[in-house]
């Protein structure tokens, strides 16, 4: 097994007033050659958007973009004609493909929005743009990881153009679980949303990131009440669509 530890305090940081963002991997003005990506996981931004503010209309192409709200509501509009609101308990995905434009806006005047913005390189380029969102309320489990994203449109959660699987978990203190890698050659990047946990003996705290690869499975323990996101992705950039 190989691993990499990214403590929360080592992330890139940008405070634009209306947007307070922490970058696990190089993004915008934060550039660290040692932290460009984890396999095909390109961006993991931990964003806070001020009341009444947001991201104006901007373009994307050839990227799988996943948003996971942690607090508050975020209004989404895009060039495909979608106008929706995502909130804590939802997972949103966009396949940017040949190109889309979208905006994200906090319509609340008295509450911040906190959400994860995640980019994954696709295994197919120039696909038809696609949008989807789900509520995880019907699939979430207690004290166990549950799937919220996969490569299969017929599977649980949303799907992406990549051999990637995402799992969320909400655990009580003392709870344990074991994660099995879905596909050979994949690694897992764990991101602690709340609490303190251990993965194969490595202690992790809130907003720490821990990547593991060249393993078939790993053990998980929650030392306190916790929430954790697991992002399983191909480690080889040969898996990116050309």
DSSP structure string for 15-73: E-SSEEEEESS-BTTB--TT-S-BTTEEEEEEEEE-TT-EEEEEEE-S-EEEEEEEESE
- DSSP category for residue 128: P
Q: Which residue's structure tokens are 């804590």?
A: 88
| pLDDT (mean) for 107-112 | 92
Question: What does the alpha-carbon distance between residue 198 and residue 117 come to, in Å, rounded to a whole number?
Answer: 24
Q: What is the pTM for the complete model shown?
A: 0.97
Question: What does the alpha-carbon distance between residue 62 and residue 40 come to, in Å, rounded to a whole number?
Answer: 13
pLDDT at res. 241: 84
**Residue 93 token pair:** 């995905």
- DSSP category for residue 206: T
242, pLDDT greater than 80 = no
* Contacts of residue 70, Cβ cutoff 8 Å, sequence gap at least 6: 88, 114, 115, 116, 193
Give per-residue pLDDT as tens, 123-177: 999 999 999 999 998 899 999 999 999 999 999 999 999 999 999 999 999 999 9
């Amino acid at each position: 097994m190989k691993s990499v530890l990214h403590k929360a305090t080592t992330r890139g940081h940008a405070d634009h007033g209306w947007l307070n963002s922490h970058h696990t991997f190089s993004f915008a003005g934060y550039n660290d050659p040692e932290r460009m990506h984890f396999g095909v996981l390109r961006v993991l931004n931990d964003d806070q958007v001020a009341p009444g503010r947001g991201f104006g209309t901007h373009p994307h192409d050839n990227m799988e973009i996943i948003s996971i709200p942690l607090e508050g509501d975020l209004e989404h509009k895009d060039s495909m004609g979608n106008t929706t609101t995502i909130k804590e308990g939802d997972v949103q995905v966009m396949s940017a493909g040949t190109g889309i434009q979208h905006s994200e806006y906090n319509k609340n005047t008295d509450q911040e929005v906190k959400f994860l913005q995640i980019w994954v390189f696709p295994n197919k380029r120039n696909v038809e743009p696609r949008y989807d969102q789900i509520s995880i309320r019907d699939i979430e489990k207690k004290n166990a990881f549950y799937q919220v994203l996969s490569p299969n449109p017929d599977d649980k959660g949303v799907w992406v153009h990549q051999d990637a699987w995402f799992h969320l978990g909400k655990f009580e203190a003392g709870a344990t679980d074991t994660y099995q890698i879905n596909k050979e050659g994949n690694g897992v990047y764990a991101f602690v949303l709340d609490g303190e946990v251990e993965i194969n003996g490595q202690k992790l705290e809130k907003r720490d990131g821990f990547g593991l690869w060249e393993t078939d499975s790993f053990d998980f323990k929650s030392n306190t009440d916790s929430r954790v996101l697991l992002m399983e992705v191909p480690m080889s950039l040969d898996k990116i669509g050309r």
